[in-house]
Amino acid sequence: MNNEIKHSECPTYIADIFIGGDEAAARQACQEFVLEGECVNFAPCEYIFTGGREVGVRVGLINYPRFPRSPDEIFTKALRLAAFLIERLHQSSASIVASDRTVFLSRRPE
């Protein structure tokens, strides 16, 4: 048995989704989304803003060296997941903060 520890690397790329909503519902939605072949990190968080606060989650995707992808592939997946979470959590918006850009998704009327 070979116990040698090997390493691999790839360019860093991170895309984090920030969205309000119920933690349990968000966790379930993420579990369903990853069935198509994905891995995300998940953390509950709280948003504090002028006039209030709201619970929510932060869901992240990274460029994983075992299965490296391009930044566009990761960001496209984050967009799909954010839209899925907006629907499943009955939210009106979400933000995606990536290594190279930040995008606000909203279904609010202008």
Q: CATH code at 39? A: 3.30.70.1380
* SS3 label, residue 66: coil
Percent of the chain residues topping a pLDDT of 70: 99
What is the number of structural domains in the chain? 1
47 assigned to some structural domain? yes
pLDDT of residue 36: 84
* Domain enclosing residue 89, as ranges: 14-106
Q: Which residues pair with 49 in a beta bridge?
A: 52
4 assigned to some structural domain? no
User: What would the pLDDT profile of 27-55 be if each residue is shown by its tens digit?
Assistant: 999 999 999 889 999 999 999 999 999 99
7 assigned to some structural domain? no
Question: What pTM was computed for the model?
Answer: 0.92
67 assigned to some structural domain? yes
6 assigned to some structural domain? no
3 assigned to some structural domain? no
For residue 24, name the pLDDT band (cuts at 50, 70, 90): very high
First to last CA, the chain: 62
Q: Which residues pair with 93 in a beta bridge?
A: 106
